[in-house]
C-alpha cells in the first residue's frame, strides 16, 4: 500500500518589494519536469531505495518494475515476468484490465472522493450488488480500503454487538497489521511490539498433511483437535468470548484448507458460546476458488464476512458484510468506524466493474477449469520431483509444499529460497511461505483471466527451477 501524503494549506506567494533582498531558496528542492527528466540510473534507483525507504518485510524483489499488463509485469531492463501472485494476491482480472482502466479514468474525472458522510451512486450500487451475490441474511455492507481495515471494523462490530472482547483465530492466520487485526494474526509479526489487544486466543490449524491429532490410521482427527482446542479456550476465557475470525483457506499459513465439515463444527462451537463467526475472504472471495465465495463449499454462512484484495482487483477496496439484525444492533449501540476513505466513490465504481466482469465472463467457472488444469500440471511436477511433498488448494489458489525428505516431511528453507530465486531468474514470480514446523510452500494465485498457455509457461519454469534447485542440495 502506497503511503499517503499530506500538505499544509496552500498559499499564493507574494513577491518581495523591488528593493528587498530575494529570500534564501537554496534549501528548497529543485522543481523537475517529469516529461523531460530522464529516469534515474539503476544504480541511483537502488541507492535511493536503500537510503529513503523503510523496509517493511523481507528483501525487495531485485528488479525495477516499469509496467504491468495482463498476467505479466515488465522490468526496466525489458524482462517479462509471469505474475503467479496477481500482484499482492489481488489483481484477479490481471494488470491494466481495459475496463478497470476506463472506469478509473472516467470516475476520477467525475467523482473521486467525498466527505465520509456523503453518499454516491457507485457506493450504494456496490453494496446492493454485493448483497445480491451472497446468501441471506448477509445484506448490509460497509465499504473501506484494506483487508486489515475490514477485519478491524468487523472485530469492532462483533465486540460492540456481543458486549464482549475475546477473539479466537487460527494459529497460522494473517488478518492484517492494525491493532485488532494484528492481534488476531499468528503467522508472523508478533514479536517485539509489546502487548496486543487483550483476550486473543489461537487454535491449531487442521492441516491434513501435517496432522497433530491423529486417528488410528494416522490421518488428522480434526474433530478431536477442535474439541481439545475449545476446551483450552474455555479454560482461558474470562467468559467474554465475542467472535472467531478465520480464513476459509489459510494463505499466508501455507495454503491450508480445513477439511469438509470443519466450518460447520466451528460454527456450532461459536453458537454454543454466543460468539459471532467472521470469515476473512480477502484472497478466496469473488471466484478465485471456483465459486463466488469459498464458504459456499461448506454451506456455512458467516455472521460477518470481510472482503478486500479481490474486490478491488488490485485497487484499495474492502468490505464488511453482515446481517440487518447485527447492523441494527451495532447502530443502536453507537457503532463508529468513520475513516477518511469510507464509502469512496472512485474505488466503489471499480468494484462495480469487477462484479460486471466476473459475472459476464463466468470467471467462477473459469477458475474451476483453470484450477483443474493447474492442479494436473502440479501433480505432474510432483511425479517427477521427490522434493514435492504436498499439493493443495482450490481453484486458482494453489500451494505446493517443498520438503527435503518426502518420508519424514522434513522441510528445507534453503530449497524454497533456491526455487523461488531460480523461478524469478527464469521469468516467473512466485511467493514462498516459510513457517516453523513446515516446509517451504509456494503460493500460486494467477489472475482469473490467465490463459492455459500462460499457466503452462509457469508450470514449465517451476518444473525447471525445482529440478535445478534439488540437484544442488
- Looking at 283, 292, 298, 303, which residue is catalytic? 283
**Would you say residue 190 lies in a domain?**
yes
Residue 19 has pLDDT above 50, yes or no: no
Q: What is the dihedral of CA 49, 53, 54, 59, to 10 degrees?
A: -30
For 384-408, the pLDDT digits (tens) are 999 999 999 999 999 999 999 999 9
Chosen domain end from 307, 327, 360: 360
Residue 8 has pLDDT above 90, yes or no: no
- The grid coordinates of residue 433 equal 511461505
Annotated active-site residue in 159, 267, 288, 309: 309
Q: Determine contact, residues 173/203, Cβ cutoff 8 Å.
A: no
My answer on whether 343 and 418 are in the same domain is: no
Examine residue 408 and state whether it is found in any structural domain, yes or no.
yes
Asked if residue 56 belongs to a domain, the reply is no
Instruction: Give the pLDDT mean for 356-380.
Output: 98
- Number of structural domains (the chain) is 2
Nearest Cα to Cα of residue 286 among 324, 243, 248, 342: 248
Q: What is the per-residue pLDDT for 10?
A: 34
pLDDT number for residue 34: 54
| pLDDT exceeds 50 at position 1 | no
247 counts as catalytic: yes
pLDDT tier at 435, thresholds 50, 70, 90 = confident
* Residue spans of beta strands (DSSP E) within 210-261: 241-246
309 is catalytic: yes
Q: Above 60 in pLDDT, residue 6? A: no
Rg (CA), the chain: 24
pLDDT (tens digit per residue) in 140-180? 999 999 999 999 999 999 999 999 999 999 999 999 999 99
Residues 198 and 330 in one domain: yes
Cell, residue 295: 464458504
pLDDT at 207 over 60: yes
The pLDDT tens digits of the residues spanning 239-266 come to: 999 999 999 999 999 999 999 999 999 9
pLDDT at 438: 73
- Do residues 252 and 271 share a domain? yes
Which of the following is catalytic: 152, 257, 280, 401?
280
Catalytic residue among 267, 269, 288, 443: 443
Residue 4, pLDDT above cutoff 50: no
Place of cell 462451537: 269
Active site annotation includes 283: yes
Cβ proximity of 346 and 113 under 8 Å? yes
- CATH assignment of the domain containing 131: 3.40.640.10
Residue 329, pLDDT above cutoff 50: yes
- Give the integer Cα–Cα distance in Å for 282 and 308: 5
Catalytic residue among 164, 166, 174, 344: 174
pLDDT of residue 32: 56
The answer to whether 473 and 294 have CB atoms below 8 angstroms apart is no
14-18, 56-60, 445-449: the lowest-pLDDT one? 14-18
What letter would DSSP give residue 250? B
More confident: 5 or 260: 260
Domain contains 8: no
Q: What is the rounded average pLDDT of the residues 260-278?
A: 98
For residues 354 and 425, state if they share a domain.
Answer: no
CATH number for the domain spanning 403: value is 3.90.1150.10
> Residue 144: inside a domain, yes or no?
yes
Say how many Å lie between the first and final Cα of the chain, rounded.
Answer: 37
Q: Where a domain ends, among 360, 383, 416?
A: 360
Cβ 378 vs Cβ 354: under 8 Å: no
* Residue 174 designated active-site: yes
Residue 442 lies in a domain: yes
Neighbours of 12 (CB within 10 A): 4
State whether 148 and 239 are in the same domain: yes
- pLDDT score, position 35: 53
Q: Which of the listed residues 360, 389, 421 is the one where a domain comes to its end?
A: 360
* pLDDT for 16: 39
Q: Confirm whether 406 is a catalytic residue.
A: no
- In the annotation, is 280 catalytic? yes
Find the domain containing 440 and state its range: 363-472
CA dist 114 → 3, 119, 123, 145 (Å)? 20, 8, 11, 14
Amino acid at each position: 500500500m502506497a503511503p499517503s501524503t499530506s500538505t499544509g494549506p496552500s498559499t499564493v506567494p507574494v513577491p518581495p518589494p523591488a528593493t528587498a533582498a530575494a529570500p534564501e531558496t537554496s534549501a528548497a528542492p529543485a522543481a523537475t519536469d517529469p516529461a523531460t527528466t530522464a529516469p534515474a540510473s539503476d544504480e541511483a534507483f537502488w541507492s535511493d531505495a536503500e537510503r529513503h525507504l523503510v523496509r517493511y518485510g523481507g528483501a525487495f524483489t531485485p528488479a525495477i518494475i516499469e509496467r504491468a499488463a495482463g498476467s505479466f509485469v515488465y522490468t526496466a531492463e525489458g524482462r517479462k515476468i509471469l505474475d503467479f501472485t496477481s500482484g499482492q494476491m489481488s489483481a484477479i482480472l490481471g494488470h491494466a484490465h481495459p475496463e478497470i482502466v476506463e472506469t478509473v479514468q472516467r470516475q476520477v474525472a467525475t467523482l473521486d472522493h467525498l466527505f465520509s458522510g456523503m453518499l454516491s451512486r457507485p457506493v450504494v450500487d456496490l453494496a446492493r450488488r454485493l448483497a445480491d451475490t451472497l446468501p441471506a441474511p448477509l445484506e448490509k455492507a460497509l465499504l473501506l480500503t484494506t483487508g486489515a481495515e475490514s477485519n478491524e471494523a468487523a472485530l469492532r462490530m462483533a465486540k460492540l454487538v456481543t458486549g464482549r472482547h475475546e477473539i479466537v483465530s487460527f494459529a497460522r492466520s494473517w488478518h492484517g497489521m492494525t491493532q485488532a487485526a494484528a492481534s488476531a494474526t499468528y503467522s508472523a509479526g508478533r514479536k517485539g511490539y509489546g502487548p496486543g489487544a487483550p483476550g486473543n486466543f489461537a487454535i491449531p490449524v487442521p492441516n491434513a498433511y501435517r496432522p497433530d491429532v491423529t486417528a488410528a490410521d494416522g490421518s488428522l482427527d480434526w474433530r478431536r483437535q477442535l474439541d481439545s482446542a475449545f476446551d483450552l479456550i474455555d479454560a482461558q476465557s474470562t467468559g467474554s468470548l465475542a467472535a472467531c475470525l478465520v480464513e476459509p483457506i489459510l494463505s499466508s499459513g501455507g495454503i491450508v484448507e480445513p477439511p469438509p465439515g470443519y466450518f460447520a463444527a466451528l460454527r456450532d462451537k461459536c453458537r454454543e458460546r454466543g460468539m459471532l463467526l467472521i470469515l476473512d475472504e480477502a484472497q478466496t472471495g469473488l471466484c478465485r476458488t471456483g465459486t463466488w465465495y469459498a464458504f459456499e463449499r461448506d454451506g456455512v454462512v458467516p455472521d460477518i464476512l470481510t472482503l478486500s484484495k479481490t474486490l478491488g482487483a488490485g485497487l484499495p477496496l474492502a468490505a464488511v458484510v453482515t446481517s440487518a439484525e447485527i447492523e441494527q444492533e451495532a447502530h443502536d449501540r453507537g457503532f463508529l468506524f468513520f475513516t477518511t476513505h469510507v464509502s469512496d466513490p472512485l474505488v466503489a465504481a471499480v468494484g462495480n466493474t469487477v462484479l460486471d466482469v466476473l459475472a459476464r465472463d463466468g470467471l467462477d467457472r473459469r477458475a474451476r477449469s483453470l484450477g483443474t488444469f493447474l492442479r494436473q500440471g502440479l501433480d505432474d511436477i510432483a511425479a517427477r520431483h521427490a522434493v514435492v511433498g504436498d499439493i493443495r488448494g482450490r481453484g486458482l489458489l494453489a500451494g505446493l509444499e517443498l520438503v527435503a525428505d518426502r518420508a519424514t516431511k522434513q522441510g528445507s528453507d534453503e530449497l524454497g529460497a533456491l526455487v523461488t530465486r531460480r523461478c524469478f531468474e527464469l521469468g516467473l514470480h512466485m511467493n514462498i511461505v516459510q513457517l516453523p514446523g513446515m516446509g517451504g510452500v509456494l503460493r500460486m494465485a494467477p489472475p482469473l483471466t490467465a490463459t492455459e498457455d500462460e499457466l503452462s509457461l509457469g508450470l514449465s519454469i517451476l518444473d525447471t527451477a525445482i529440478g535445478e534447485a534439488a540437484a544442488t542440495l
